[in-house]
Amino acid sequence: MKRVLLFLVAVALIGAPSWGRVLPPGAFFLSGKVVLREPLIVPEGTTLYVAPGTRVSVEIPGNGEEIQAIVVAGKIVVDGRPTAPVVVTGRRGWGEIYLDGAVAVVENMVVENPFWGFHVHESTALFRRVVVRGGKGGIRSNGTGIYVYDSEFLGCDIALRYLNGGPVVRRSRISGVRVGIFFREGVSTALFRENEIGATEYLVRVGDFASGYLDVRGNYWGTADPRIIGKMIFDGREKPLTVDHFFPLLTSSPLKRGASLLTDGHR
């Protein structure tokens, strides 16, 4: 009964007419079909639990580039399942999910047509079996403590963009994007392993004000030809990243074909 009451309170807050609602301290539960017509704010001291199979439609008016549909400074647990993923969708470029000093566990989730899927700022976040497709980008982040496993970034302009630290990314797929990995600036502590990464313009792009070592060994880049890979690296620094830093190269994808949440009929 307590769970049901908390869920009803959360839904009532989402549907309220004023611009943006802050959940009070405590635990709140989302399930079923939810429509966001204003931002949902999860402050410090509050935990939002999103149940398997929940579908969130973002219908917040305004410029999607400026819309933070869900803002988390407390904790969020997205408890999707392979057979019942959580889906967040909306018009193309609807906005982003913003984690600001948050703690997040996100599993089996599909994010469709965002401006950016996730904006992660100085948070501790685990993403496992997360799919972001369409829109400007997948995850943009600032800081460390970000772990991405078994996930996909499809049809974005930029799949992963980070500064001042970086994510750990393993066994994930980047496909149909213009830029795969964009290390914008700051000191890198990022690590990429056993991923399949493809792009039309740059596999990896590094900004002029970036420093540190970008560890991209042991991935498949859509080809095993180092000459092709070398042409798709941009690094504006005095000592640029070269294809030699990509060795050892994987000669084929380490991921199973078709093993995607998007192929399971849960769009």
For the chain, domain boundaries: 136-267
- pLDDT for the residue 257: 73
What pLDDT does residue 3 have?
43
Per-residue model confidence (pLDDT) at position 256: 84
> Residue 95 carries which side chain, given as an amino acid letter?
G
Long-range contacts of 158-165 (CB under 8 A, 24+ apart): 158/182, 159/197, 159/199, 161/137, 162/190, 163/210, 165/141, 165/189, 165/190
Closest among 46, 60, 51, 47 to 14, alpha carbons compared: 60
CB-CB contact of 99 with 127 (8 Å): no
Length of the chain: 267
122: left (phi over 0), alpha (psi -120 to 50) or beta: left
Contact yes or no for 53/84 (Cβ under 8 A): yes
pLDDT score for 255: 95
Q: ∠ CA 16-104-176 to the nearest 5 degrees?
A: 95
Residue 18 is predicted with a pLDDT of 38
pLDDT at 258: 59
| pLDDT computed for residue 13 by the predictor | 42
pLDDT of amino acid 11: 43
Give the tokens for residue 32: 């079923």
What is the pTM (predicted TM-score) of this model?
Answer: 0.90
Residue 122 corresponds to which tokens in the numbers above? 């100085």
Task: Name the stretches of the chain with pLDDT < 50.
Answer: 1-18, 263-267
Say what the pLDDT of residue 84 is: 97
